Amino acid sequence: MKTGLFFGSFNPIHVGHLIIANYMLQFTEVEEVWFVVSPQNPFKIHDTLADEKHRLAMARLAVEDNEKLKASDVEFGLSKPSFTIHTLHHLKETYPDREFILIMGSDNLAGLHKWKGFEEIITGYELFVYHREGRDNQSLKARKNVRVFDAPVLNISATFIREVLQAKKSVRYLVPESVKAYIEENQLY
């Protein structure tokens, strides 16, 4: 089964992420998308980063009405800091019947060559890239395993969501209602 992996801190997950995941389900042969929530880095104190349990809970709430979307805490149990290549090895071993595909914005391509295990990632896995403003990498886009999609990208970020909340304004429509309620109940951000 072709499974798309969407890595991020999801602090919090927002509709921009959900739109991309659903686009991949609708327009590519990806059959499931997993949001892989990055764990807290114990060596980095980050005052705006909500606890990993909260970020996972919000991702779970965001996908609960879609059986093809999942939130994964796989990296919580792996060595830190998380390296994508380690996570991929672990997932491949745990789910031998699945074929994992990386989903990322074209802006992420700019620094990809510096990632641990870069050559193994780009030769061993397909990368489904959606066009996004920012720095890019044309030579990477030409690699055999890279496919670029023109998905609808909403110009919002988790940083913006946190700023809206800090300004005591509503994040209605920017995150699912369930996520909005969770943020309020737990007084996050």
- Binders of ligand ATP among 158-187, rule CB under 6 A? 158-159
Q: Does 84 bind ligand ATP (CB under 6 A)?
A: no
* Out of 5, 17, 62, 165, the residue judged to bind ligand ATP by CB under 6 A: 17
Closer CB to ligand ATP, 18 or 91, in the complex: 18
Question: Rounded to an integer, what distance in angstroms lies between the CA atom of residue 113 and that of residue 167?
Answer: 38
Over the window 88 to 127, marking each residue x when it contacts ligand ATP by CB under 6 A and - when it does not, the resulting string is ----------------xx--x-------------------
* Out of 11, 28, 40, 84, the residue judged to bind ligand ATP by CB under 6 A: 11
Q: What are phi and psi of 106, to 5 degrees?
A: -60, -25
Q: What are phi and psi of 132, to 5 degrees?
A: -145, 145
In the DSSP assignment, the letter for residue 64 is: T
Q: What angle do CA 170, 173, 174 make, to 5 degrees?
A: 80
| Least distance (Å) between residue 164 CB and ligand ATP | 12
Residue with tokens 């999609």: 149
Closer CB to ligand ATP, 28 or 97, in the complex: 28
* Out of 4, 5, 10, 39, the residue judged to bind ligand ATP by CB under 6 A: 10
Q: Does 23 bind ligand ATP (CB under 6 A)?
A: no
- Residue 3's alpha-carbon distances to 13, 26, 68, 123, in angstroms, are 19, 13, 9, 17
Q: How buried is 6 (Cβ within 10 angstroms: 0-12 exposed, 13-18 middle, 19+ buried)?
A: buried
13 contacts 59 by C-beta, under 8 angstroms: yes
| Least distance (Å) between residue 97 CB and ligand ATP | 26
Q: Does 20 bind ligand ATP (CB under 6 A)?
A: yes
List interacting residues with ligand ATP (CB under 6 A): 8-11, 16-17, 20, 104-105, 108, 153-154, 156-159
